[in-house]
Chains A and B, each alone.
Chain A
Amino acid sequence: MAVTAGSKVLNNVEAVRETLYEAMKSDDRTIILGEDVGARGNVFLITKDFINEFGPERVIDTPIAEASIVGIAVGMAMEGLRPIAEIQFADFIYPAFNQIVGEAAKTRYRSNGEYTCPLVIRTPYGGGVRGALSHSVSIEALFYHVPGLKIVAPAFPADVKGLLNAAIDDPDPVLFLEHKKTYRLIKGEVPEGHYTIPIGKANVIKEGRQLTVVSYGLYVHWALEAANQLENEGMSVEVIDLRSIRPMDRTTILNSVEKTRKLLIIHEDNKFGGIGAEISAMVAEEALFSLDAPIRRLAAPDVPAMGYAEPLEHEYMSSPAQMADAMRELVKF
């Protein structure tokens, strides 16, 4: 990989780590709290050695108590700190649902702006790592229904850094989703220094004329792989990386759909009530007459999560080959 001046190549773990490090360095109101974030430096080593440099007051190894990890962070945020709470795996965020949905998302609203909650909740999510039922779930659909939250799910290291910086600077609560299979798999150029990518802006990562594919997280990479294969077959597919799930970038999606006249949404989360449902509804409401084919969704079946056994994981997930098939079908429709 040729590296531009002022950039370096990082994987997604390193991008998170560098961003957190810079946030800790630049603002002593920043506090990291979560399970095993201190001495162990997080289970993926994202905060390794932070505790030595910043001290246990700023890098808090919490008890195993997710509701209060988030709840205490909410209180810190209400009283002037800038906490970054970590949920060790997204599968364990459910005990904190109350604090995220009932409290963090409503702090500003319920006090009519008197109190605010500038909080980041980071958590690794997603499968393809033999994570079984409880180390591989996608949680975004459970939270994107909730006004008061922002949700981002970047796929590329440069977006990880830009969006994490944006989340940390944001005056409202942000749920920051890190796809754990991309952690070490995906590398890319990351600019040095502080920069932000606005929350709510999608990115057209491949331009095309015959079909719009919208995805996020790990599947962005697989969708890109599939789209490139179709390119070799003479089909032109546009791929949009959503990056932000709440708010969502209507303009980029509609502009693309109006050009290609076909839409495929691909996500790892369950199909029923998933992100694709909202995008489909929006496009149907706003651009039905621009469509030359029914909207299609390629998403997980209606089972709780992927199984541990290899065939169960495989069956649950969509492969690049399945993505290519769905794309071909729609292009030819």
Chain B
Amino acid sequence: MTAYTINRRLWSTGRYLALSLYVLFALFPLFWLFRVSISPTKLLYTEGTSLWPSMVTIENYLIVLQDTSFPTYFLNSVTVSLGTALCTTLIASAAGYAFSRFKFKGKAIIAFLLLLTQMFPLVMVIAPIYRLMQPLGLTDSLTGLIVVYTAFNTPFATFLMQSFFDAVPKDLEDAAMIDGCTRFQALIRIVLPLTLPGMMATLGFIFTAAWSELLFALMLINSESQVTFPVGLLNFISKFSVDWGQMMAAGFLALIPACIFFALIQKYLVTGMTAGAVKG
């Protein structure tokens, strides 16, 4: 072995070591979540911080699923997050396409306004939003939450989608239009398939954002039947104690839809879809 190959092996080993450390670091909280959720409550404090409890139980899960309103919260969250993700992606795709392909009056101003909405802390707008939603009958309703989330996520999603449309060469649309497409057909047949990964990424991103949103959900929802899961989690904290085991079990269950969702879309997230379109 020459010094060069030794050196290269050292480098690649080092790289994997660094990556493993990083993954360990990122996943440890999740592991701890799981570890606490399967620990019997009575062992929680006595065993301290051992990596694995001496006794394992699914009791916490059973309680969460059978004796609390968690399943309702969970369904509410799925509804709101899916609704938000779909609405936002649809609007953002249309807007992003327009920003990417058309010249129109006031384009710069609209872009600036969109950016401006991202600059205020949400806390500032909660009261006005509440006043706005109340007469419309949109407080204490999942539809209201979808509307608010969509409104707040659309600007960012629009810029995201614009960048995906920008990445599709304009020549492709021109070629399609010469080949016999209208602009709309070119969009559907050529541009859309190529931006699908981007749309999926946006969908996933917005879904996750809506899934974990707490502030608006806390302020706009009153009735137990409309509560989403992040707010629901707070119910495990009572005045006198926190039921860690149940809370962690609920939290762990809440990870499932996000995982399923990403498993479904991950094949679209592989990059390089536009490779080979034009010579780079």
A-B complex is real:
no
A interface residues, Cβ below 8 angstroms from B: none
